[in-house]
Amino acid sequence: MNESEVRDRAFAMPLGNPAYPRGPYRFVNREYMVITYRTDPEALRAVVPAPLEVVGDEVKFEFIRMPDSTGFGDYTESGQVIPVTFRGEAGSYTHAMYLNDEAPIAGGREIWGFPKKLADPAIRVEKDTLLGTLDVGSVRIATGTMGYKHRELDHRTALHSLQAPGYLLKIIPDVDCSPRICELVRFQLTDLTVKGAWSGPAGLELQSHALAPVAGLPVQEVVSAVHILTDLTLGLGTVVHDYLAPG
């Protein structure tokens, strides 16, 4: 293989057998349970990178079931998303994500900079309760509960919440472990179809873990919860700030 062939074929590792196909990526019947809670605003400011600005004291803890996704297959993820603004525009910063499938871990980190780590999240219905759990090894670090389909939510409200831009801190190290890439990436969900949306009472418990510190943003008060079923496309990202640029 000559150098030109390497350049033509290279888009993901390993070169001869990439961990995931080229995007964009379509998700069918993607199911969200999102519990919004209040936390310590100082803790939020300590984890959100400038030039993003924290808005208020809220965090969204997400449990997401993805049974049919292009190239990534069938998997579940969970994590924390923080409302922010960037140059005056409202959006969200993805602070932590935990999931159980190697392809979207590799693709999410390498393409966009999603902060994905391997764990074992789950979302299921138990009688009258929508239950979300997140385990790291044998340790349960998050449990979310929500009344199942208590109140129908206006689909336009759900659509608006999914259309807001998201922001990620993408870090790729050089061979000496210094940052080769350190960028703020903007992404957006497109081609959205909301198939169902509900709200209801909710509870959330977070437990301490040295390598999965979700409890570093402690639950002070649960504000609201939504349950959404949707089809969508995860578009490719845009670099909006380069931390390594001169000046």
Catalytic residue among 116, 127, 170, 195: 116
The question of whether 149 is a catalytic residue gets the answer no
DSSP codes joined into one string, the chain: --HHHHHHH-SSSSTTS-SS--S-EEEEEEEEEEEEEE--HHHHHHHSPTTSEE-TTEEEEEEEEEEEETTTEEEEEEEEEEEEEETTEEEEEEEEEEES-HHHHHHIIIII---EEE-EEEEEEETTEEEEEEEETTEEEEEEEEETT-EEPPHHHHHHHHHS-EEEEEEEE-TTSSEEEEEEEEE-EEEEEEEEEEE--EEEEE---TTS-GGGS--SEEEEEEEEEEEEEE---EEEEETTS--
Positions marked catalytic: 116
